[in-house]
Chains A and B, each alone.
Chain A
Amino acid sequence: MEGSLEKEIPVPRNYFDPIFVLILIAAYMALSTWLGFYITSSLILFLMMVKLRVPYLRGLVISILLTVFVNLMFYKILRVPLPIGFFGW
């Protein structure tokens, strides 16, 4: 039933995008202890949005807002330590 539903809508497939997502996760692992949470998260969010064709300026603003929001949820409300980098933030 589900299969027949999907077949009717032609879906464009971007085979490189999932690989790009994996590269971003690996990049986060490598960079977060060096650049810290703020820079790494904003950067990764921004790169992924640009890859998914979000306009540059909008992508930048949303990336920063999301980073602040995640920080608020985990660090301020739940008091979970986040990766701290070179610059102390």
Chain B
Amino acid sequence: MDFVLHGLALLMAPKVLLIICISSIYGLFVGAMPGLTATMAAALLIPFTFFMDPVPALVSIVTMSAMAIFAGDIPAALVRIPGTPSSAAYTQDSFELTKQGKAELVLGVDVIFSAIGGLMGAVVLMSSAPLLAEVAMKFSSFEYFWLAALGLSATVMVSLGSQVKGALAMILGLFLSTIGVDITLGYPRFTFGSVELLNGVNFIPAMVGVFGVSEVLRNVLQGELAYPITRVKAGKIFSGMGRLIRRYKVNVLRSGLLGTFIGILPGAGADIAAWLAYAVSKRSSKEPEKYGAGSIEAIIDAGTANNSCLAGDWVPALVFGIPGDTITAIVIGVLFMKGLRPGPMIFERQPEIIYAVYLAFILANLLMIPFGYLAIKTSAQMLRVPKNILMPAILIFCIVGSFAINNSVFDIGTMLVMGVVGYFMEANGYPVAPIVLGLVLGPILEQNFMMSMIKSEWDLTLFFTRPISAILGGLTIIVWFFPVLTAFLEKTKKRN
């Protein structure tokens, strides 16, 4: 109980509350701007969080991401462009309902069910993380090796589109993580004699490049889009919500739990949660013919799932140091740079940080209702911010943020190169999220492998003879053969 109060005290400091409000507004704005993703918002936020204390840094990322995932629903409903990829699953349904004159209903559902989903995710996070942390206390380098391998494999398995492209992106991330001084032997790798590369590819400029600069490049290529914006009467958005909650309580419970579970899986983020919840919802609905033509049920299910997923993503991140999605991958990178090693030890040594994250999730989702109301009320003005002023502004924040971390012009170069790489990858259908996971998990994978090998004097069998290690290893191998297995199952199903 002491830690809860301590965590609450940390959260209620005036400075932290101010950071929460600013992060909320920032998240709502970036989420609502079509073409700017929540991951980009996180990448641009990290140079700031780098200079904050751990608690305000984590809290600001939590509130920002919760608000951004909700705000992605606003342009989906009003102009038929999802604000973030997480809203893509139900953009069609949202816009169809808007065309039928029900924009207020859609936005009301978006804000209320996002908040409910987020709160459900927070409850699962609070109840499962401490239990898992106790299990994790028993883990040694063998188990952490498999966890990292499992995280990387799962990232490839769930990558939307081609799994081969996902695997290539992940391998690029792993390769980037090997640049610099070898962690066990101290030998410089792939540095080509450059002093700047001895410390490796700097994580923050790389992220700002992949998610920030590449978005700027894409946006200036497309030019200004002129779209008609539906006006909404914000005063009416909350009417009839109580009835909907009662009517769809089973859907909310199902999608909230499904979303959190997807979040806990390493590598699968809110966009995948939304697509899956949509598919499950359609299959179990009484009126599946409405899906795609304006189904409020679809919006409730997918909208609950993508917000509940966010809290789930933090479970493996806090407990094992294995990211649940791209945003938590960035968070882990930040924690490492602050000298905080995410993992079960945090639960013992700095429990107030964990409780501050829990409470931040609850507070962010409660604040979502008033802040979301304001965002909806000002949506018409927000969507009209001209891109030709916004893009230069984002660019200067990318440049200055990358420079600020080490005070080095070389880092701006890293950002530039990674921005071009990220742009060409996305233009050719390669997912960029696996790069981040490769970059964060690469050193964990390598370090734990080398530690295990040195401890056991190169006895590889120990990876399969320790019980927990064997289970995790088995799971990882099943994930590798998943594409083959599903193809085989499909075949046998057809034969019967």
Contact = CB atoms under 8 A, between A and B. Distances in A.
Interface of A: 1-2, 5, 9, 11-15, 17-18, 20-22, 24-26, 28-29, 32-33, 37, 41, 44-45, 48-49, 52-54, 62-63, 66-67, 70, 73-74, 78-83
Interface string B382-426: 000011110111011101100110010100110110011001000
A14 B223 contact: yes
Nearest to B402: A25
B336 interface: no
A24 B223 CA distance: 18
A13 to B, nearest CB: 6
Contacts of A80: 51, 404, 407
Nearest to A11: B222
B482 interface: no
Given A13-B222, A52-B220, A41 B388 contact: no
Given A1-B92, A25-B213, A74-B400, A32 B409 contact: yes
Given A1-B88, A48-B391, A82-B400, 14 more contacts: A1-B89, A1-B91, A11-B223, A20-B220, A21-B213, A22-B420, A25-B416, A45-B392, A49-B392, A54-B389, A66-B392, A74-B400, A74-B404, A81-B407
A29 B395 contact: no
A21 B85 CA distance: 25
Given A18-B423, A48-B395, A66-B396, A29 B216 contact: no
A70 to B, nearest CB: 5
B416 A70 contact: no
A28 to B, nearest CB: 5
Contacts of A62: 389
Interface of B: 48, 51-52, 80-82, 85, 88-89, 91-92, 213, 216-218, 220-223, 225, 227, 386-389, 391-393, 395-397, 399-400, 403-404, 407, 409, 412-413, 415-416, 419-420, 423
A12 B386 CA distance: 16
B388 A49 contact: yes
A29 B409 contact: yes
A11 B225 contact: yes
Contact of B396 (A5, A41, A78): A41
Contacts of B223: 11-14
A9 B225 contact: yes
A41 to B, nearest CB: 6
Contacts of B395: 21, 24-25, 44-45, 48
Contact of A78 (B48, B216, B415): B48
Nearest to B220: A17
A22 B396 contact: no
A25 B212 CA distance: 13
